Structure 1
Amino acid sequence: MLFDSHIHTEFSTDSKMWISEAIEKAEELNIGLILTEHMDINYPEKDSFIFSPEEYFKEYEKYKSNKLLLGIELGMQPNCVLEGKKIIEKYPFDYVLGSIHLVDGIDIYLENYYKGRSKKETFEMYFKFMLDCLNAYTFIDSLAHIDYISRYARYDDSELIYEDFYEYIDEILKTAVQKNIALEINTRRFESNKSIRNVQKIYKRFYELGGRIVTLGSDSHQKGQIGYKLDIAKDMADSCGLKAVYYKNRKPEYI
């Protein structure tokens, strides 16, 4: 059974989806789900993109099953490593997905991150920051959406081209291999065949550098997004020699 390992419900600031909607859609598609609510400690806007793990488990524990697991998407920043680690150690998450949403305190969703900077500058800043965080957050299970910046970059061509940034990307992939961290295949940008081809090069390189496992995620915030092109993500993993897994009790289970 395929698992969509990147799902946001109403515990995430940017999602209004109810857990009942997510369960209904997963049953329709016959897939498993891992909920990964946003936890971006020290987010610049007060009380945004954080949630109470205590309330999360209190509310959702009754829904947990072999087909629905409880995880977290932990926003990584150097100034909150210890606080993040304490949360992960305190609560029984099945899965910890590490993400880069902010660089030097600026949300890369915002135009301000790109203003006055070239694509080369902003992408290099993003990858350097990601590498620093990956070295610090050794307790995550998978690195989310390596191509996240391409969703929001304010350039005529915002595509992530491996060859343009291979030195940074290779260091990130090597670090993930060394620290036994999986790489997520995120299908959010799979509406474009060009995006699929570009990102596939990164997963092929991950295998060449010793990577062996990936997680699959739609990054859904709405019912209709659940399971989006997971079959293509699974085929991509297979074509790159990578094994698709999901995490249960912080241990990888093969799909």
Structure 2
Amino acid sequence: MREGFITYKGRNIVFTDYHTHTNNSFDSKAIMMETCQKALENGVEQICFTEHFTLNPNIPTYGHMKWEKYREDIQTCQEAFKNQPLHILKGIELCEPHKYTEEYKQLFQKEHIDFILGSVHNIKDIGLRKTLAKYSRLEAYDLYFKEMLLLVEKADIDCLAHFDLIKRYSKEAFSQDDFEKFEPLIKKILSKAIERGIGIEINTSTVEALQEPMPSHYILTLYRELGGRILTIGSDSHYSEHIGRGIKEAYALAKECGFTEVSIFENRCATFVSI
């Protein structure tokens, strides 16, 4: 995140969605214009598109993103909705960005971006499903959180995406007790994030399948108790109709965990909006 904060100029933001994908991502066919229209219908007032991108040629994300198309899509939608109560921002989700720090630095010196999510989808270029198949569940969790620590120590990002993503891919029933075994490591990740001005998100995409978002109430509370303040909310939608899904519930969870505000970004600078 860049130094300093901005003041959002305009009407008060009520609902924001800071994790969305369209056909600029390898795993979505959503059309950006349709997603923006659905955002309006669903009461979202600020949307940040966070398309998947990587410079690592060994993982599935590589090679799909076309920056020229992405820029054109954003500009077209911003123009189309300029008189509507919808603020449209250009973000990105980087997979394992700690592996290419200098290359990403050079890229974003040329390419304007409002918000950067950093995520771990692969460990040693192996996807999380295969990692869970190769190792015991607790071994895989240990590897995952150690990779998250490397990310937060090295990468230039604004927020950590879906902090406990690996639980989504576990074939065995997820138990919160599993993550509590890793509390020292989780605290180390969260503390480093706070030290470096990096936030976390509430990702609502697992609410239906797992009956909880990413991260869980437990991790959100740890983050707040450690002094964490930067918090974004995202549906992780890959379909237009899913935009804004679970956002109201995420705001309620944030309050329950001790947060009184969420973060919004522009030009990689954060400001805070009361909830």
Q: Distance in 2 between matches of 1:5 and 1:173?
A: 20
2:263 maps to 1:245: yes
Secondary structure at the counterpart of residue 28 of structure 2: coil
1:1-255 equivalences in 2 (<5 Å): 1-31=14-44, 32-45=46-59, 48=62, 50-64=64-78, 67-108=87-128, 110=129, 112-137=130-155, 139-154=156-171, 156-161=172-177, 162-191=179-208, 194-196=211-213, 199-242=216-259, 243-255=261-273
What is the DSSP-based 3-state SS (H/G/I as helix, E as strand, rest coil) of the residue aligned with 1:145?
coil
Number of residue pairs the alignment of both structures matches? 251
- Please say if residues 70 and 94 of structure 1, whose CA atoms lie closer than 8 Å, have aligned partners that are also in contact: yes
Q: Distance in 2 between matches of 1:86 and 1:101?
A: 23
Contact map agreement 2:132 2:169 (CA 8 A) in 1: no
Superimposed CA distance per residue, residues 80-138 of structure 1 (whole angstroms, 9 cap, x where no aligned partner) = 22222222222111111111111111111x3x21224111100000000110111111x
Cα 1:163/1:97, change in 2 over 3 Å: same
Deviation per residue, 1:6-53 (Å, 9 max, x gap): 000110000000011101111101212100000022142577464132
Distance 1:190 1:9 in 2: 21
1:233 offset after TM fit, Å?
0.8
Structure 1 Cα separation of the partners of residues 60 and 164 of structure 2: 27
Rounded Cα–Cα distance in structure 1 between residues aligned with 2:75 and 2:213: 36
Gaps of 5+ in 1: none
Q: Is the 8 A contact 1:78 1:132 kept in 2?
A: yes
The alignment's TM-score, normalised by the length of structure 1, stands at: 0.91
Asked if the contact 1:151/1:189 (under 8 Å) is kept, the reply is yes
Runs of 4+ that moved beyond 6 A? none
Whether the aligned pair in 1 keeps the contact of 2:164 and 2:214 (CA below 8 Å) is no
| TM-score normalised to structure 2 length | 0.84
Contact between 1:159 and 1:195, CA under 8 Å: does it hold in 2?
A: no
For 2:269 and 2:229, how far apart are their aligned partners in 1? Answer: 15
Moved more, 44-53 or 229-238: 44-53
**C-alpha separation in 2, matches of 1:206 and 1:83:** 30
Q: How far apart in 2 are the matches of 1:23 and 1:3? A: 12
Cα distance in structure 1, aligned partners of 2:210 and 2:165: 16
What percentage of aligned pairs have identical amino acids? Answer: 32
Higher relative contact order, structure no. (Cα contacts within 8 Å, ≥ 6 residues apart): 2
Separation in structure 2 between the aligned mates of residue 205 and residue 50 of structure 1, nearest angstrom: 36
> For the structure 1 residues 53 and 164, does the alpha-carbon distance in structure 2 shift closer, same or farther, using more than 3 Å as the test?
same
CA contact (8 A) 1:71 1:95 kept: yes
| Structure 2 gap ranges (5+) | 1-13
Q: Secondary structure at the match of 1:115?
A: helix
Instruction: Quickly say closer, same or farther: Cα 1:81–1:211, change in 2 above 3 A.
Output: same
Distance 1:206 1:6, change over 3 A: same
Distance 1:82 1:238, change over 3 A: same
Shift of 1:240: 1.8
